[in-house]
Amino acid sequence: MASTSKFPARHVLIGTLAALSLAAGAAPALAEAGIRILMNEAKIVKLARPADTIVVGNPQIADASVQDATTLVLTGRGFGVTNIVVLDLDGAPIVDEQIYVARQDTKSVRVYRRAEVQTLSCTPYCESSYKSDAERLSESEMGASQ
């Protein structure tokens, strides 16, 4: 029996696939809401009210410095995910967020030679970039896993 729908089946299929791909793309963005910092870079965080206590889950991943009672400076120290909790004088939370620290991917190139990994900073010419202890460890682990 022929279809009597105004919309051919392929248009419905294409529309459904487009909606699913949009939904799939939005899910990771929602799941990773939080504070994003690049390795070896700082980010200023303004607080709604003065802070009394600041706790970073893993200070090897991110560090918090107090600029004043309502301003923090977060610095990416190592790759990964940790959290930050900021409490006011009464112990009420001001901030309770995940911190994601990632490598600077733009203007950089990684060269793999067997077990050796070299990262080049290309701004505009490619040269060996400074590596923190966390970056050296990450690159040695990448080389060992190959």
Of the candidates 43, 31, 117, 52, which has an alpha carbon nearest to the alpha carbon of residue 74? 43
Task: Select from 99, 69, 73 the least CA-distant residue to 84.
Answer: 99
Residues β-bridged to residue 119: 110
Q: In what order do the strands lie in the sheet with 93-102?
A: 35-38, 93-102, 80-87, 53-56
Q: What is the pLDDT of residue 8?
A: 56
Secondary structure (3-state) at 85: strand
Interval 26-76: pLDDT, tens: 444 444 589 999 988 999 999 999 999 999 999 999 999 999 999 999 999
Look at the domain 35-102 and name its fold: Immunoglobulin-like (2.60.40)
pTM: 0.61
> Two tokens at 145?
């896993």
**Structure confidence by residue, pLDDT tens digits, 70-116:** 999 999 998 899 999 999 999 999 999 999 998 877 777 878 888 77
Instruction: Break the chain into its structural domains and give their ranges.
Output: 35-102, 108-145
More confident residue, 10 or 79: 79
